Every structure is written in structure tokens, then in C-alpha cells.
Structure 1
Amino acid sequence: MDSFFTLSKLFWFAIAPSNALVLLGGLGLVLALARTRRAGMGLLAVSVIGWAVLGFSPIANYLLNPLEERFPIYRGDAPVTGVIILGGAEVPEVGLARGVPAFANAGERAIAFGALARKHPEARLAFIGGSGQLFSDGVASEARMMQMTLPDLGIAPDRVEYEVNSRNTAENAEFAKEMLKPSPGERWLLVTSAFHMPRAVGCFRKAGFDVVPYPVDFRTIGPSQLNDTFSRAASGLDVADVSVKEWVGLVAYYLSGKTSALFPAP
């Protein structure tokens, strides 16, 4: 098993804000019960306050927005060689069990993919993504979920090429280049969530695959409207988790040589 992939999954489990605050609170409870009351109660207080601040305040918006603003919304009409969609929006365990398409918050990726397929009927279409789970059974793959969805998008299933072995963004880029074999001067659109686009573009550039960013799935209104609070702590924590994951991912990918820039730009 690839050590970077395994360590990244374990490390992220521990440092995701929502998880880290629970672990901190649990440690505080253990210390309090073990008669280290002052230290334990202090950690419990930090845990509760952290949940409240990250869950309800607009801090998460300020963490996420710079990622979303890094690459502009695509407005071009030029002919394209192909359209690439990265997996990760699908919920294959649910969709395959119930026999209907199932997507998480990033379902806009599929909507954009369908729209681009109709707009560019001659373009090659590619779905890139296997399973990002640490322990995958290889059955509930993202690609199978997308295949189930294609008729609803108005796309003939045999029009799409599939890469089903990549487990993270770096492998997305490497395996996509190997499968699609892009030539100089070709124009490939890359569809993924706006907050994920900097890391994705960095990986594709490192792999030597020049792509045109097509960001979707925006979670913030814009830089001038970031002060809105969250009505549910779970919502704010979810945005905080997504933001921290991307910022940490950018640093980790840069330090490990998977991207050539710390914060890739247009």
C-alpha cells in the first residue's frame, strides 16, 4: 500500500477540525476523570469553544473563499479537445445499493459535465477517479455511479472514457495523462470543485498535462460577502473541514513534489 496515500488518510482523520475538536474533548474528559481536573477541564473548554466558533462564526468562509477565487469561472466558447471530470462527488455506496444516482454536495460537477458534453458534441469525455477510501472493496466505485448517471445527463455511456484506479488528486493527474495521451496544443477542460481546483491544476501541471480550469461547486457567495454566520454548527464545521483539508493538501503536495507550486495560479 502506498505510504503517502495511507499516511495522508490517517493524518487527515486526526487533524480535520471537527474530528480534532472531538479528540481534544475526549482527551480532556479522560484527564478530568484521571484527577488531572484542571488540565482536563481546560481541554474540554477549548473543544466546546472551538466547536462553537468554527461551527457558527464566518471563519470557515474566510478559509474557503481564497481557494474558490484562485481560478475564475470559465466563460469561453472555443472548441475543446476534451472534458475531464474528477470523481469525488458521488456517493456510490448509497446509489448502487438503491439503484439511483446519489451525489454529495459537489453534484454540480456532474451537471457541468453533462452541459459541456452537449455543448461540445465532438469532444472526448473522461471520468477520472477510483476510490479515495483507505479500505476499499473495489465494488462501490465512483465510475460505476457515474455510469448510472449518464443517461440522466443525456450522455451516451460509450462516449465516456474511464480511469478507475486513481485514489487521490496526484494519481488523478498521472493516470489521466497516461490514459488520454494529450498532445501539445490540445484544449482540455478540467471540471472539479472550485476549492479543489488549485491543487488539481497543480497536480496536472506537474504531470505535464495542460488543462483549462472549469471550477464549479462554489460554497461561498464571494469575497465581499463572507460575514454570514452559520445556523447549524455542523454546516460551519463542514466548510472548515473542507477548507483545512485543501490548505493542508496544498502544503503536503508541494513538499512531497506532487505539485510545482505551493498555491497554483492561473
Structure 2
Amino acid sequence: MQLVPRKWLQVLGAIVLLFFVVLAFLQPTNETALSIWDLLAIPLKPLGLVVVLLGLALKDGIEDVNGRLVAVSLSVLLLFSIPLVGELLTQRLEQDAYTISVENPLDARADAIVLLGWNTTRNPVLGSGRDRIEATEASDRIVYAAELFREEPVNQIIVSAGPRRDLQNTEANPRVEANDVQALLVRLGIPTAQITLETEGVDIHSSAVNVREILSGPQPRILLVASACHLRRAAQTFLQEGFDVYPRATDFSVVIPVPEEVVEEQNLPERRLRTRDFVPSLQGLDLTTRAITEFLARIYYFLRGWWSMESV
């Protein structure tokens, strides 16, 4: 005999689940909320969806596998692992980023270059002496920000990158990524005095809010450096916070198409399809997952009111 009826346990479970969903929605930078959301979002990503479907297919045991769910799982995995599928989804995001970068030339001195620097560096060796800093695949943002600093009329770079989630952070020994990004910028020739650190931002919205406190004047003019995949969302978020935004895309993942006249005029090589573009791969699955994650993030930002309705 059960002390608590199964129906009430199900209701209690649903209430707890709803509580964590609301917590993750309202406090996305809270560490507990982030961890819970990582679990709740599993079915929203291709690999997670496949795992859930396979789990449902096996719920009655190995002897009574649901073949239909297994077939659906395999189809989802194959489809989203095809590199061409990931490229087409990502291309849509990055083509837009390229367009808004080209169509917004800087027409006056900017107050700052804002570099969204999280996930651009890592510390693979943590010793008692000087920690080693390495650039990740997203480090194009750092190099591009340094190039813009030398080319455009601007005299400071604001690096927004908060505490590292993969390392233990304490008040006595904080692990803030902005410090590492600054070190790489200095190596690229940017004077330390012209680099300002924003050390609390962990995502686009928190970075925009914190940078607004640094640039407190009326509608600060900024060159916003972000990965091409996220640039539209970043630009709209900073607009919402009262910035005059000049987006600058970098860290492209795919080859984006350009007008035929440009190809002919500059004698550019054309992208050609290869057999491997149709062969499922881990790289294809990763590319698709990143694109889907960005589309979901845009929906979330819109629902939270962080997405400006103004055009960039």
C-alpha cells in the first residue's frame, strides 16, 4: 500500500518541474537555474531528443522495443548530423550578420568597441605560477576587435566576459575570463590603459546591462563585436538597452553566399558541394545544434522583452 497516491506524486513532480522552469526563465544567470535548464533543455536539442526517444522506445524493456520510436530517433539523428543541413541553418544566421555589418558603416567617432568575449579563451594548465591562456575557436572576436581598434576612430575596448563556469570561483581567487581576454589583446598591441573590463556578463543580456553602466551617457555609440551566429540577437539586445549600435560580425562557421557580380568582379572561388557534405558527422551535428540553440535563444529573448523591435 502506497503512503502517498501515485497521482499526487505526479502532481507534486509537475509543480516542482514548473517551479524550475519559471526559475530558469526569470533568472537565467543564476547558477542553479542554469544547471536545471541544461537538463530541461535536453529534448530541445537534436542529440537530447534522440536520447529521449530511445528511452521511450525502451521503456517496456529490451524485449518489447518500440520499433517506430527507434526509427524516428535514427531519422532525427541522421537528418541533423548531415553537414549540409547544419550549414543551411547557420548560413541563414550568418548571412544576416554579414549584411547588417556591411550596411552600418561607422560615420562618426565611437565611444567604444564592445567585445563579447566569453568562451574565447581557456586555461588548460592551472599551476602555482603564471596560468597558460589559450585561444578557442571563437577567439576570432579578439583578433577582430584589435583590428577594429587600429582602423576605426575609437579609443577604448570594453571586454565583457564574466566568471568561468568550468572553474571554481572564490572571492579570494576569482576566475574571470575578461582578464585573459585582456592579456591576449595586450599581446596584440592594444595598450592596457585603453582596455576596460566588464567582469560580470555571462550572456548577451547581462553584458548589455553591465556595459550600459560603464557607458552611462545618452545613447552611447558602440562597435559591437560578436560571433556572426549571435550578432543579430546581440545588436537587438544592446539597442534595447539604449545603445547606438554598429554591429561587426566575425567568427563565421560557414561560407556565406555573395552576389554573383561580386564573385565575378573579385574573381572569388565558389563554394562547391562535396560528398562529405551529405555524410552524417559529429561536426554536422554540432553545427546544427548551435543553429537551433540560437533560434531558441531568440525566442526566449523576445519573450523576456530583451529583443528591440527597432531595426539595426
- Residue 136 of structure 2 is aligned with which of 58, 80, 104? 104
- Residue 70 of structure 1 is aligned with which of 84, 96, 117? 96
How much does 1:19 deviate? Answer: 2.9
Match of 1:31, SS?
A: coil
How much does 1:119 deviate? Answer: 2.4
Match of 1:218, SS?
A: coil
**1:118 and 2:144 are equivalent in the alignment:** no
How much does 1:164 deviate? Answer: 1.0
- Residue 162 of structure 2 is aligned with which of 122, 130, 133? 130
Match of 2:114, SS?
A: strand
Tell me which residue corresponds to 2:85: 59
| Higher mean displacement: 12-21 or 77-86 | 12-21
CA distance in 1, matches of 2:133, 2:213: 28
How much does 1:106 deviate? Answer: 1.4
**1:195 and 2:229 are equivalent in the alignment:** yes
The one-letter amino acid of 1:42's match is: R
Q: Highest CA radius of gyration, 1 or 2?
A: 2
CA distance in 2, matches of 1:44, 1:157: 56
Q: Greater relative contact order: 1 or 2 (C-alpha under 8 angstroms, separation 6 or more)?
A: 1
Q: CA RMSD in A?
A: 3.0
**1:22 and 2:22 are equivalent in the alignment:** no
Count of paired positions: 260
CA distance in 2, matches of 1:109, 1:238: 20
The one-letter amino acid of 2:50's match is: L
Contact 1:12 1:245 survives alignment (8 Å): no
The one-letter amino acid of 2:155's match is: A
**1:90 and 2:120 are equivalent in the alignment:** yes
How much does 1:235 deviate? Answer: 0.8
Instruction: Show structure 2 runs of 5+ residues with no match.
Output: 1-22, 259-270
Tell me which residue corresponds to 1:156: 191
CA distance in 2, matches of 1:20, 1:265: 34
Alignment of 1:136-215 (within 5 A): 137=169, 139-184=174-219, 186-215=220-249
How much does 1:77 deviate? Answer: 6.0
- Aligned sequence identity (%): 24
4+ residue segments displaced more than 6 Å: none
Tell me which residue corresponds to 1:253: 301
Contact 1:85 1:128 survives alignment (8 Å): yes
Instruction: Show structure 1 runs of 5+ residues with no match.
Output: none
**1:4 and 2:4 are equivalent in the alignment:** no
CA distance in 2, matches of 1:27, 1:92: 38
Q: Aligned in 2, Cα 1:226/1:16: closer, same or farther, shift over 3 Å?
A: farther
CA distance in 2, matches of 1:80, 1:35: 67
CA distance in 2, matches of 1:87, 1:226: 33
Tell me which residue corresponds to 2:59: 31
Contact 1:132 1:168 survives alignment (8 Å): no
Contact 1:96 1:140 survives alignment (8 Å): no
Q: TM-score, structure 2 length as denominator?
A: 0.72
How much does 1:12 deviate? Answer: 3.6
Match of 1:214, SS?
A: strand
